Structure 1
Amino acid sequence: MTGRHIPGDFPVSSAGERLFSAGSAQALDAQAPSWGLDPFALVEAAGRGCARILTEAYPGLFSASSPKIAAAVGSGNNGADAMVMLRALILDGHVSPAAAAVVINRMPGAEDRSPRSSALRALDKMGVSVYPWQGTIPKNDTSGIDQRAVLARADIIIDGIAGTGLQGPLSGVAGEMAAWIGECKKKAETGGSGVGKPRIVSIDIPSGNFDLFEPSMPIITADLTLAIDPKKLCLYSPGARVFAGIIRSVEGIFPPGLMQAFEGPELLTWNQVRHRVPPIGPDAYKYERGVAEIHAGSPGSAGAARIAARGAQAAGAGIVRLLVDEALYPILAVSAGGIMVAPVKAGEGADAPEENRFSPDAILLGPGWGRTPERLPVLRGALDREAAGFPLILDADAIALSRDLTFHGNTILTPHLGEFAAFTGLPKEKILSAAVPVIADTARKIRAVILFKSHVLIIAGEDGRVGIVDGMAPVLAAGGSGDLLAGFCLAIAARMKRGGYYDGYTCAAAAAALLAEIGRAPDKAHRFVDPLDLAERAASLAGRAWL
């Protein structure tokens, strides 16, 4: 019996959640009134949604007692959202008015009828203390403390200082407020006496983040970011992601039909992207699952070759062939398991004629391979095949060797920041501050898919598609995880090619999502894990998804 796969006969998910730039977010707000959504309705929905998600995030804090909460409020809608959120927490009985306060950068004028002004007026009527950042003690407060002390003693600080409308680094009063919140957090973490331990909760994005944010700019460091849909692209910039802490979605603000009118990078998760890879039929045999060929390893780097091969096995390749230098053959062959290890002489390429039964469906070059000149003939030979539609994955040393070579739309490159900077000649700082446009532009120029490895994984296709996978898994910050990822890419590419349909972007997206998913396993979150153990978890996940 033989299995078969008809391209398109497997379930395909809809596009991942779209991420919005500041410009798209402003355009969305501008179109909202045509859908019957005025600013007051949107702020009300966002603030109430934020309150609900906050109590779910910290259930113990709200069930034990009424925590002290201070909202740091700026001039925009983020400030209005923060105050509606505070009002909802009070009305729902989670916080008492006496334990709540607002520290505001500028008091609204008497004629102001904005959502921000209305929210502030309601809190004032409810007995919540309001502190202008550079103002005086309000009439309904007799404690004699100033606005800085209010923030310092809070259990939770709601950050509503600045949103996506920011056009440059935080400055002025907004910068002062953000700096003081940072001081409160720093003193708490270092055990400063007389200072509370505030949890910093940012509305939508941490204040200071925006589309052109650079890591050297001032920014709030949040413990939790309540990302109001649609989520903003700048949240997932590698240079800014760490400042957001845990990101929780606040949904149900805009109608899906309105948001779908806008293009943008897609935020991908394993549960979404796994459906884009064809499953393995119950009557499949090993060749039908794809033959994956790996050229990897050099003296001192044999482990990279082994891990990449295990990754290819884990992601479902039917046959994995590992071609290594003759000196490494005895080392790797002795414990190969189901991996077919074959020795090659320096400069040799793919299969000899008598080995055509192992003709690969996809090739991976580079893990621990070295950059010596004898690798170039193998690389050039692989690129010749790539020009004819053959899937090629280049990792590590192969990326460096390919810098001046030509791709033809069927290559996936898997660089980390240093490798990408060396490949493009761009400063690391520029890449971190504008990662998505820089990576997407590079992918279009070189006609290859780029899978950028960092705590945020970015996938860019030559056709303009961009996907983002939120990593933030400390266990993956260790040698071997990149080799594992390259093996995932290889196996998925081989399976797709053998099935009659190969799409490099989808292949890279599925591999990245699989890596992020295994990195978030609860029992592995903060300890070192052997990459081969991670391969075992990947095999379990991929097997359930694709068999």
Structure 2
Amino acid sequence: MQKLDRAWLDRHPLPSPAIGGDKNARGRVLVVGGAEFVPGALRLTGEAVLRAGAGKLQMATVRAAAMSLAVLMPEAAMIALPADDDGEIASGAIELLGERLANCDTLVLGPGMSASERTEQLVAALLRGASAGQTIVLDAAALTCAGNLGTLVAAHEGRVIMTPHYGEMAYLTGIDAETIANDPVAAAERVAEKFNAIVVLKGARTVLAGAGEEAALFEGGSAGLATSGSGDVLAGVIGGIAARGAVPFTAAGWGVFIHGAAGEHAAKEIAEIGFLARDLLPAIPKLIANFGAG
């Protein structure tokens, strides 16, 4: 077991941005999620993607939320998707997303979505449609729905990053959360091997595991990170770093570390408890620059 610390970052450096490269060279990200009940979740994920250095961002959410989200995030292209009677992304969205998926480097799927049969169908279709070179971050409902899609996840040969908390990990493993808490490393490694994926098991101490990789433990951050929207930010940071060209294991590790460092920064500047997930966002670019300087 290794520590996910500054020395780990030095051993897993980020790719250097191409001198003179345009926004496409820094990576294109598609974020899919949200619902009428939580229309702002994608704002946190999308801004985190760009704060992490990705060059282009597209966001896809239910039509009722798309216009206000587009105004809130003028840097992003917006895709309005049909909704079902519950205000969740409807199955008809699959056809609308096909071409968009083909033109991205990284897909972040799940923030703000609820688990349902339609969600599972959407996740399955996007997993089938994604190409071999793309990185996929599965978060929230997309993650739990993937519990029944192990073959599709494993087919991407380690390019899927899963970001469960203990409750979601219990669903993926069939083991209760208390047992997982007693040995989170074993649980993360088990899921990473089963799904041939990268696993970020979120908690007071976060575990990073990957099939064929030595697991790493992150013990930084702050108590204030346990707040609504914090996981949406983490998914975006991981997705943005992956889009810049980092391999999935490196992108996940950097995402965890930078997210934790942003929490420490917010705790110092605001308070240990009570800062908002969106308070993490402005610190992300400088933290990546500082820790990436070597």
The offset of 1:334, in angstroms, is 2.1
Which whole-Å CA distance do the structure 2 matches of 1:380 and 1:315 have between them? 27
The offset of 1:539, in angstroms, is 2.1
Among 46, 56, 61, the residue aligned to 1:309 = 46
| Structure 2 residue 85 is matched with structure 1 residue 336 | no
* Paired position in structure 1 for 2:104: 360
Which whole-Å CA distance do the structure 2 matches of 1:472 and 1:495 have between them? 24
- What count of residue pairs does the alignment treat as equivalent? 276
| Structure 2 residue 248 is matched with structure 1 residue 504 | yes
Q: Which amino acid aligns with 1:529?
A: F
Identity %: 26
The offset of 1:321, in angstroms, is 0.8
Among 285, 288, 292, the residue aligned to 1:542 = 288
* Paired position in structure 2 for 1:276: 13
Q: Which amino acid aligns with 1:372?
A: S
Which whole-Å CA distance do the structure 2 matches of 1:328 and 1:372 have between them? 20
Q: Which amino acid aligns with 1:266?
A: Q
Which whole-Å CA distance do the structure 1 matches of 2:247 and 2:62 have between them? 31
More helix by share: 2
- Equivalent runs, 1:100-115 vs 2, <5 Å: none
Helix, strand or coil at the partner of 1:297 = coil
Q: Which amino acid aligns with 1:479?
A: S
Q: Which amino acid aligns with 1:334?
A: V
- Equivalent runs, 1:136-215 vs 2, <5 Å: none
C-alpha distance after superposition, 1:312-344 (max 9, x if no partner): 111111011110111211221221131222212
The offset of 1:472, in angstroms, is 4.8
TM-score, normalised via structure 2 length: 0.86
Which whole-Å CA distance do the structure 2 matches of 1:424 and 1:402 have between them? 12
C-alpha distance after superposition, 1:325-376 (max 9, x if no partner): 11211221221131222212332236465x68x8110101101112233333
- Relative distance call for 1:448 and 1:457 in structure 2 (3 A) is same
The offset of 1:509, in angstroms, is 0.5
Contact 1:363 1:393 in 2 (8 A): yes
* Paired position in structure 1 for 2:204: 455
* Paired position in structure 1 for 2:120: 376
Which whole-Å CA distance do the structure 2 matches of 1:352 and 1:445 have between them? 27
Which whole-Å CA distance do the structure 1 matches of 2:125 and 2:243 have between them? 18
Contact 2:221 2:262 in 1 (8 A): no
The offset of 1:534, in angstroms, is 0.7
Which whole-Å CA distance do the structure 2 matches of 1:422 and 1:309 have between them? 27
Give the gaps of 5 or more residues in structure 1: 1-264, 497-501
* Paired position in structure 1 for 2:86: none
Helix, strand or coil at the partner of 1:306 = helix
Which whole-Å CA distance do the structure 2 matches of 1:482 and 1:490 have between them? 12
* Paired position in structure 2 for 1:469: 218
- Equivalent runs, 1:506-545 vs 2, <5 Å: 506-521=250-265, 522-545=268-291
Which whole-Å CA distance do the structure 1 matches of 2:192 and 2:114 have between them? 24
Which whole-Å CA distance do the structure 2 matches of 1:529 and 1:510 have between them? 22
Contact 2:184 2:201 in 1 (8 A): no
Which whole-Å CA distance do the structure 2 matches of 1:359 and 1:292 have between them? 9
The offset of 1:445, in angstroms, is 1.6
Which whole-Å CA distance do the structure 1 matches of 2:46 and 2:290 have between them? 20
The offset of 1:489, in angstroms, is 1.1
Structure with higher Rg: it is: 1
Q: Which amino acid aligns with 2:286?
A: S
Which whole-Å CA distance do the structure 2 matches of 1:276 and 1:351 have between them? 32
Among 430, 438, 444, the residue aligned to 2:193 = 444
Give the gaps of 5 or more residues in structure 2: 83-89
The offset of 1:389, in angstroms, is 3.5
Worse-matched range after superposition: 384-393 or 336-345? 384-393
Contact 1:270 1:514 in 2 (8 A): no
Helix, strand or coil at the partner of 1:451 = strand
Helix, strand or coil at the partner of 2:23 = coil
Helix, strand or coil at the partner of 2:275 = coil
Which whole-Å CA distance do the structure 2 matches of 1:410 and 1:428 have between them? 26
The offset of 1:280, in angstroms, is 1.5
Contact 1:278 1:546 in 2 (8 A): no
Q: Which amino acid aligns with 2:237?
A: F
Q: Which amino acid aligns with 1:325?
A: V
Helix, strand or coil at the partner of 2:161 = strand
Which whole-Å CA distance do the structure 1 matches of 2:270 and 2:21 have between them? 33
Which whole-Å CA distance do the structure 1 matches of 2:220 and 2:74 have between them? 30
* Paired position in structure 2 for 1:206: none
The offset of 1:388, in angstroms, is 2.3
> Whose relative contact order is higher, 1 or 2, with alpha carbons under 8 Å and at least 6 apart?
2
Among 264, 274, 293, the residue aligned to 2:30 = 293
Helix, strand or coil at the partner of 1:302 = coil
Contact 2:221 2:259 in 1 (8 A): no
Helix, strand or coil at the partner of 1:484 = helix
Helix, strand or coil at the partner of 1:288 = helix
Which whole-Å CA distance do the structure 2 matches of 1:368 and 1:286 have between them? 27
Deviation >6 Å, runs of 4+:
none
Q: Which amino acid aligns with 2:4?
A: L
* Paired position in structure 1 for 2:134: 390
| Structure 2 residue 16 is matched with structure 1 residue 267 | no
C-alpha distance after superposition, 1:459-510 (max 9, x if no partner): 00011421111135012111111100000111111111xxxxx522111111
Helix, strand or coil at the partner of 1:322 = strand
